Amino acid sequence: MLGPGNRCSESQFSVDPLSRNDTLAFWITAPGRGELRREAVPAPSDGEASVQALYSGVSRGTESLVFGGHVPPSEYERMRAPFQTGQFPAPVKYGYANVGQVLEGPSQWVGKIVFCLYPHQQRYIVPCDALYLLPELVPPSRAVLAANLETALNGVWDSGAGPGDRVSVVGGGSVGCLAAWLLGRMPGCEVELVDINAQRASIAQALGVKFTLPARARAEADVVLHASGSADGLAVALRIAGFEATVVELSWYGDRPVTVALGESFHSRRLVLRSSQVGAVAEARRARWSHRRRMETALSLLTDPALDALINSEGCLEALPQTLQQLSRRPGDVIMHRVKYD
């Protein structure tokens, strides 16, 4: 169920009417503060398309860190989104999960529903080669999960998990849930989603995997994926890994220091702690897979209606400054927040 507290009406948030060549975009203006800004939208040039946004998704973990100004200076360039404007920490226009309809451009694109790694903005111009056509069986409202599913897919590849493995996923956010869903479709794979929030049990059930709280997490896992974004979650991941198991770190902590328990039995159990990041295709696929092929695959996998359970908050663009403040401070039960455009 979508969180009603994140919906908005015209009476709540009023914006002066836009001209045909104007649009509204969400900007982070300072750490912890955001606003909507008017921007001019030019006509598309050859090889470009004009896109009207239908939905965009807030990748809560990463975008909360960006919103709070927690990108370390060493990562300013590596953390740039494909169509980011401005510089970290602020002002910056950031985001990468936009679904829209092509209004103008080459005839083969006009009218098509597309996904683009674009920030939260009503209308925008991009090169056509930056667009991904939505498969017919994938509704636009669900396609906001594509970027997070691409991250989860890459993490599963990095883990080396295979049929019959006992796999634990620690952290029931969007990436963790999507990774668990992918792994749960491997033949014979026993998947357990671990989270401190007992409300995730119903989500796990919808995704077809088991659920447990950290204190009851199954030990001796063949593979563990960690996506909780917390040091406590990482400690659980290391604790439940079996002998010579791989723990894949999918969390990104920004500038926050993290304590890792590399004493105790870490060495005697010969554990492998491996990072995974979507900026590069997983090593096991890199020789043959491009970023485009990986994203197209992620989009093609979004046909399962069970994934709608992960989008449990929705609001309009005008409410996004307040919504991101709330999500960065008290996310509550929100897994994925979806922005709906008029």
Dump pLDDT digits (tens) for 231-244.
999 999 999 999 99
Which residue matches tokens 């969390």?
A: 251
Q: Which amino acid is at 192?
A: E
Average pLDDT over residues 292-312: 98
Q: What is the mean pLDDT of residues 134-140?
A: 98
How far, in Å, CA of 146 to CA of 143, rounded?
A: 5
First-to-final CA distance of the chain: 21
Over residues 170-186, mean pLDDT: 98
Domains of the chain: 4-142+302-340 (3.90.180.10), 148-275 (3.40.50.720)
Question: According to the model, what pLDDT value does residue 342 have?
Answer: 82
Tell me the average pLDDT across 6-29: 71
- Classified as helix, coil or strand, 210 is strand
Cis peptide before 89 (omega within 30 of 0): yes
Q: 15-28 burial, b for 16+ CB within 10 Å, e for fewer?
A: eeeeeeeebbbbbb
User: Model pTM?
Assistant: 0.94
Q: What is the pLDDT of residue 4?
A: 41
pLDDT at 136 exceeding the cut of 80: yes
Query: Per residue in 101-131, pLDDT tens?
Result: 999 999 999 999 999 999 999 999 999 999 9
pLDDT value of residue 7:
55
- Tokens at 210, concatenated: 């088991």
The shares of helix, strand and coil residues in the chain, as percent rounded to the nearest 5, are 25, 30, 45
Q: What is the pLDDT of residues 303-337, one digit of tens each?
A: 999 999 999 999 999 999 999 999 999 888 999 99
